[in-house]
């Protein structure tokens, strides 16, 4: 299991101790198209600029010692978009996986990918598998990319796997527990998110990590994803640290 890097000497949040920081941050990267349209640019230019934001966010999370960062790259519902936009997104994904390998290895980042492989081009699958393999021994921040991902589809796949084990007699229905479901999700072995960030001001979850975010703190900004800076990440972490997380209990007096 990956471990977060030590907090750097030039830590931007020196007053927030490690135990008050989110160890797993998940981000719904929304607003690329809207950012472009407001500037009379094609939507694909927003996606291109969004890749730069991914790069700086990944590097900053690694630098300040975040244990895991999960990014919602492509939802299972995004296939409804125009074909030229989908083709460009696949090109950007392939390009990112190739071009960022140096940075991934330099920072000791371990890459994991969740979602269904069906429908993804073979060339993208090859680069995904290569990047996962070459970074598998890294012990720094885990970068989890949700690609062709849907929370409901994940639950269907989870239940299907468990049902097959019941059918084969490997487990009994009475043995099914929350932990067993967690162990059969795409995210098996990963910690649940502590903090869920959404850009572009939308107040919804959009079928993202429905099981895993049951106790995540939500943080929404009006900024579109291409506008999101390291300082905004710091602000989200600072707000998280100030919250009282009771997990259904009461705050000690």
Would you please indicate which residues are annotated as catalytic (active-site) residues? 30, 78
For 4, the token pair is: 């977060």
Query: Among candidates 228, 222, 240, 250, which has minimal Cα distance to 60?
Result: 228
Residue 219 has what DSSP assignment? E
Tell me the DSSP string of 30-93: --HHHHHHTTT--HHHHHHHHHHHHHHHHHHHHHHT-SEEEEEEEETTGGGS-HHHHHHHHHHH
Contact partners, residue 206, CB within 8 Å, separation at least 6: 28, 30, 72, 75, 77
Cβ neighbour number for residue 126 with a 10 Å cutoff: 12
Tokens of 165: 């084990």
């Amino acid at each position: 299991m990956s471990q977060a890097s030590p907090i750097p000497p030039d830590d931007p949040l020196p007053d927030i101790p490690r135990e008050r920081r989110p160890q797993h941050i998940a981000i719904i990267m929304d607003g690329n198209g809207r950012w472009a349209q407001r500037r009379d640019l094609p939507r694909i230019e927003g996606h291109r600029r969004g890749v730069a934001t991914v790069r700086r966010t990944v590097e900053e999370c690694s630098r300040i010692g975040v244990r895991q960062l999960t990014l919602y790259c492509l939802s299972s519902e995004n296939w409804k978009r125009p074909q030229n936009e989908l083709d460009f997104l696949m090109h950007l994904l392939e390009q990112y996986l190739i071009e960022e390998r140096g940075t991934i290895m330099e920072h000791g980042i371990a890459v994991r990918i969740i979602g269904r492989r069906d429908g993804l081009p073979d060339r993208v699958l090859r680069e995904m598998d290569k990047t996962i393999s070459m970074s598998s021994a890294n012990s720094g921040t885990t970068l989890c990319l949700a690609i062709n991902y849907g929370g409901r589809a994940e639950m269907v796949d989870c239940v299907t796997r468990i049902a097959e084990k019941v059918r084969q007699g490997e487990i009994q229905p009475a043995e099914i527990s929350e932990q067993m479901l967690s162990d059969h999700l795409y995210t098996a072995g990963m910690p649940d998110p502590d903090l869920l960030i959404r850009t572009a001001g939308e107040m919804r979850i959009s079928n993202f990590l429905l099981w895993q975010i049951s106790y995540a703190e939500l943080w929404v900004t009006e900024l579109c994803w291409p506008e999101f800076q390291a300082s905004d990440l710091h602000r989200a972490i600072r707000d998280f640290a100030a919250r009282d997380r009771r997990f259904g209990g009461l705050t000690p007096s």
